Structure 1
Amino acid sequence: MHRLPPHPLRTGGRTCVRAFVSTDEPKAVPALLGSKATAGVHEEAAMQTLVRGGRVIDPGTGFDGPADVLVDGDRIAAVGPGVAAPPGAAVVEAAGLVVGPGFVDLHSHVHSVAGQRLQAMDGVTTALDLEAGLMPVARAYAEAAAEGRPLHYGFSASWGGARAAVLTGRTPDARFASSLAVLGDPRWQRTSTPRELAAWLALIEDELAGGALGIGVLMGYAPTSDPAEYLAVARLAAKAGVPTFTHVRELTEVDPATPVDGSAEVARAAAETGAAMHHCHVNSTSGRHVDRVLGTLEESRRAGSRVTVEAYPYGAGSTAVGAAFIAPERLRAKGLGPRSVVMVETGERIADEARLRLLRARDPGAPCLLEFLDEDTPGDRALLRRALAFPDAVVASDAMPVHWPDGARDSAAWPLPPGGTTHPRTAGTFAKTLRLMVRETGTWSWPEAFRRCSYLPARVLDDVAPAARAKGRLAVGADADLVVLDPETVSDAATYAEPTRPSVGVRHLFVAGVPVVADGALRTDAFPGRPLRGEAR
């Protein structure tokens, strides 16, 4: 497995920040900023900021050129050359830098301040858990708001949580760790009875009414369940006017006995129901069969189906060790083995099948890495690039929680304490993609990069969340979610050995007009994240 060399932290700067307001006396702040917000953030939220002299890219209109951007509160007030700074405004000098809408991550499992700070340094302004979702969503939204978030946040209705509640009697607690723990439970993996199916579909419908951003479907974790259940979910999504976000079941090349090919199932459901179907991390679920899968999805789209695709630039995935596809026989079918599995919290590389079976039985929810491609091999690197280059594929991180040796799952400290473990995609997905696809290979232009990282992912949510229509754009009236980056140095720094090293090259990041990253440094007093909620019909 590829181990990236460490990237030196570049502290030189061609930018500066002026006129930021702060105060030593705490004041009341709006509830939407969270309990950790400070007076400095509150004052700046009411300020105007001029980002001056950068290369401005708006993937919504196609604009790409030198311009100034005026932020007024949480909105873009002006874009163009020669915009004057209002009296008392903060000014960010962006000459030589690229200015665009902040990245919208449709697939992030970091429900913590620590994880979101890593994503902020990677250019993300909106981090959503849509593949797995959390249940109940009302609790997930309330707890995020109470704690405060640096980035915008949101959740889908959890297919897994609803099925677990009905099939196993578990009470969902809006915790991702609890979701991982249930994945290896055979009671959850089985096909539902008609009565059970109706019961958990009703739970999902309630979650959509409560603001969920679509339906997250972990089909790959119940790979032998009846395909009729998936079609029932797609029909519900079509009726409610919401998208689905699917971790597909096994491909026929891997398991000829699978009830239906995982990627073909997405295409079939989209065609039969008219629902908007999003195929999660096509790189990891397709592996070396990605060309065939992409062909299947492209054929579906040409036929008029509403199918979207995401990918990330790593050759290893991360999941719970009890997942169905981590079973020894499933690994063999993929041409992998126990040594392809590495436990996240201990770093143990599994020696043999006996050890793997023991760990799966002892703690099925324990996080692990699964190496499915070798990034040191040119052919495997090319497969990853082809997944990212697929027309209209969006970048999504599948960011994972951060753990420390003492068992802590979050940290208020910054920089993060040493010893934290996670997948490097948590810290580096977007910067690594920019490094690979723009800087090193020229596969994408900068406008295309912002289209893949900002504009297109936001458009997946336009129907379910009208508020998303102001994201992924950099035009007057758009949300003031901006990233200002150095096109010469932006890069990932996280590796499998040091997965919590923040990316470099993001010079400034604004969330709802509030600077979360300023002059390359994260602001620990900034908690401007707001909920993005669905409005199912």
Structure 2
Amino acid sequence: MGAILIRGATVLTGDASMPVRRHHDVLIDGNRIAAVGAGFAAPTGAEVIDGTGALVMPGLIDTHNHAWQYAARGIGMRLWGHRIYQERIASLRERYAPQDVYESIHAAGLDMIERGITGSLDFFHAAVTEEHGFSALQAHEATGQRVLLAYGMGLGYPFHGQKHFAPPVDERLARVARLRARATGARVEVGIGASGVATSDDFWTELDFARSIGARTSMHQNGAREIARIGERGALGPDFVPVHCNALSDRELDLLAEADVPISVTPECECSVGRSLTVIGRAFRHGVRISFGIDTAGSAHIDLLQQLRIGYRLMQYLDAGAARDGARLPIFDDTDPPSAGPDDFLRAATANAAHALGRADLGRIEAGCLADVVLVRPTDRDAAETDPVGHLVLVGAERREIDTVIIDGVVRKRDGVLVGVADAAERAARLSATRSRILAAGD
């Protein structure tokens, strides 16, 4: 692992006080950012990347997805309500062999890297057997992505004809401990995808166990007063990541902010099942560290910038609703300021999301931070240079514009092409075969 110098780029630092630095260099030494400045001389033997006309940003981090569902892309595209998810997507887990889990998660991770998503919180609720969990771990370790693998204590939504049920909580926790022991590197951490606090008393056992071994916990948070109940027990903390969070009261948001608890919201999937999305603007206003996720690739596109764009526009619409209700039109930003701006959304997908992974040294382009860095070469350079952050959040970047992806100081995508992975046609054929087996198993 040598030095890398990105020269002359527009650097989106993630720092609220100075978010954009133009014509700057980024020097990477090993797996850390060594310096950010201008006019650096390249160290002997360093790889030099011309950043002229390019944007450099911290790697994006998706804080809630189910990567095992990637092979079923599109099957729930018309998702409306929960029944389609239960019948068409959740039920697929029983058809997966461990190798199918590997192929799906491996393909999902590489697709994320191609789109500048360097980190992921994978809520893995397809652990039908212990070997399924090990296949998930192996797949994540093979991609090069930085991952928190949250081992699902439950198997997601129940459905008619379900055969597999989760074993007793003690056995599930023993599986987590064994899986953590099998993890081979620092990039992939094994945590817990907890049972719902409103649906299972096992939640408290799972949370206590996670903390006893230093593991992080995530949970689907859909019920009223769940966060209040956890707060009443004094159990809120920054090592806990509730997801969706649409039913949160303002008081619960204050509890989360006080305990520095990060949350994850998945805008596209929230819309498709009819949940409220007022939590986005309210979370920003209450000082909660909000981040974003894709949720299920079975119905949503693996593109985190798209989730930011959807979330931002929905927040604007809801913010404007207050002005409309008060007959304060046209809107003026001094009397009806927005809950957040594009810079806040980009930080949500980088620094805030890094907090959800438990990494204070991630999510910024700053000396000393881990070198998870993305270089974007926008097709529309004029628009991107006019407002770099606004361009990424409100327009996005196509996969072909993600030129270079560096994770932990290692180049994983160079000149628009993944590095060190099998031929794209071969990978596509393997994934297609996996998909065929999964879908055919239900015929």
Determine if the TM-score, normalized by the shorter chain, exceeds 0.5: yes
Equivalent position SS for 1:130: strand
Deviations 1:451-471 (A, max 9, x none): 211112222333xxxxx4432
Instruction: Name the stretch that deviates more: 468-477 or 196-205.
Output: 196-205
Q: Which residues of 2 match residues 352-501 of structure 1 at below 5 A?
A: 370-372=272-274, 383=278, 386=281, 389=284, 391=287, 392-400=289-297, 422-426=298-302, 428-434=303-309, 437=312, 444-445=340-341, 447-462=343-358, 468-485=359-376, 486=378, 487=384, 490=392
The answer as to whether partners of 2:6 and 2:50 remain within 8 angstroms in 1 is yes
Q: Which segments of 5 or more consecutive residues in structure 1 lack a partner in the other structure?
A: 1-45, 161-178, 252-260, 318-369, 374-379, 401-421, 463-467, 495-500, 528-537
- In the alignment, which of 214, 230, 237 is matched to residue 191 of structure 2? 214
Higher mean C-alpha displacement, 75-84 vs 92-101: 92-101
Please, which moves more after superposition, 118-127 or 130-139? Answer: 130-139
Q: Which residue of 204, 207, 210 maps to 1:234?
A: 207
TM-score, normalised with respect to structure 1: 0.53
Task: Give 2:254's aligned residue.
Answer: 299
Matches within 5 A, 1:65-84: 65-66=21-22, 67-84=24-41
In structure 1, C-alpha distance between the alignment counterparts of 2:280 and 2:256, rounded to whole Å: 21
Query: For the Cα contact (< 8 Å) 2:118–2:146, is it kept in 1?
Result: yes
Q: Distance in 2 between matches of 1:273 and 1:203?
A: 27
Q: How does 1:37-436 map to 2 (within 5 A)?
A: 46-59=1-14, 62-64=17-19, 65-66=21-22, 67-110=24-67, 111-130=104-123, 132=125, 134=127, 135=130, 137-145=133-141, 148-160=142-154, 179=155, 196-204=168-176, 206-207=178-179, 213-219=190-196, 225-226=199-200, 228-249=201-222, 251=223, 261=224, 264-276=225-237, 277-282=240-245, 286=246, 290=247, 293-301=248-256, 304-315=258-269, 370-372=272-274, 383=278, 386=281, 389=284, 391=287, 392-400=289-297, 422-426=298-302, 428-434=303-309
CA distance in structure 2 between the partners assigned to 1:481 and 1:313 by the alignment: 25
Unaligned runs of 5+ residues in structure 2 are 68-103, 184-188, 317-337, 379-383, 423-443
CA distance in 1, matches of 2:216, 2:9: 36
On the 8 A contact 2:372/2:408 being kept in 1, the answer is: yes
CA contact (8 A) 1:482 1:510 kept: yes
Does structure 2 conserve the Cα–Cα contact (< 8 Å) formed by 1:57 and 1:447?
Answer: no
Aligned-residue sequence identity (percent) comes to: 19
- Decide whether the 8 Å contact of 2:64 with 2:292 is kept in 1: no
Q: Secondary structure at the match of 1:425?
A: coil
Matched, 1:522 2:417: yes
Q: Name the amino acid aligned to 1:395.
A: F
1:446, distance to aligned residue in structure 2 (A): 5.5
SS at match of 2:233: helix
AA partner of residue 263 (structure 2): V
* Residue deviations 1:267-298 (CA, integer Å, cap 9, x gap): 3224414253321123xxx3xxx5xx252431
Higher helix share: 2
Does structure 2 conserve the Cα–Cα contact (< 8 Å) formed by 1:69 and 1:76?
yes
Q: Would you say the 8 A contact 1:388–1:394 is kept in 2?
A: no
1:31 matched residue in structure 2: none
1:510 match: secondary structure: strand
Amino acid at match of 1:149: T
Secondary structure at the aligned position of 1:219 is classed as coil
Q: Distance in 2 between matches of 1:247 and 1:203?
A: 21
2:262–2:355 CA contact under 8 A, matched in 1: no
Q: Pick which of 70-79 and 235-244 moved more.
A: 235-244
Relative to 1, partners in 2 of residues 1:477 and 1:491: Cα closer, same or farther, differing over 3 Å?
closer
* 1:229–1:523 Cα change, 3 Å: closer
Describe the superposition over 1:243-272 as per-residue Cα deviations: whole angstroms up to 9, x where unpaired: 3211135x3xxxxxxxxx3xx223322441
Q: Which amino acid aligns with 1:77?
A: A
For residues 403 and 308 of structure 2, the distance between their equivalents in structure 1, rounded to whole angstroms, comes to 17
Q: Aligned in 2, Cα 1:114/1:230: closer, same or farther, shift over 3 Å? A: closer
Q: Give SS of 1:393's match.
A: strand
Distance 2:9 2:340 in 1: 20
Matched residues in 1 for 2:350 and 2:342: separation?
Answer: 12
Question: Offset at 1:103?
Answer: 1.2
What secondary structure, in the 3-state scheme, does the structure 2 residue paired with 1:448 have? Answer: helix
Which amino acid in the other structure matches residue 347 of structure 2? R
CA RMSD of aligned residues (A): 4.0
Look up the SS of the partner of 1:213 in the other structure: strand
Instruction: Tell me how many residue pairs correspond in the alignment.
Output: 339
Task: Report the CA distance between 1:436 and its aligned residue.
Answer: 6.2
| TM-superposition CA deviations, 1:282-327 (whole Å, max 9, x none) | 3xxx3xxx5xx2524313235x44532111231557xxxxxxxxxx
Quote the Cα distance in structure 1 between the aligned partners of 2:110 and 2:181.
30
Asked if structure 2 preserves the Cα contact closer than 8 Å seen for 1:122 and 1:503, the reply is yes
Deviations 1:390-428 (A, max 9, x none): 64211222242xxxxxxxxxxxxxxxxxxxxx43332x2
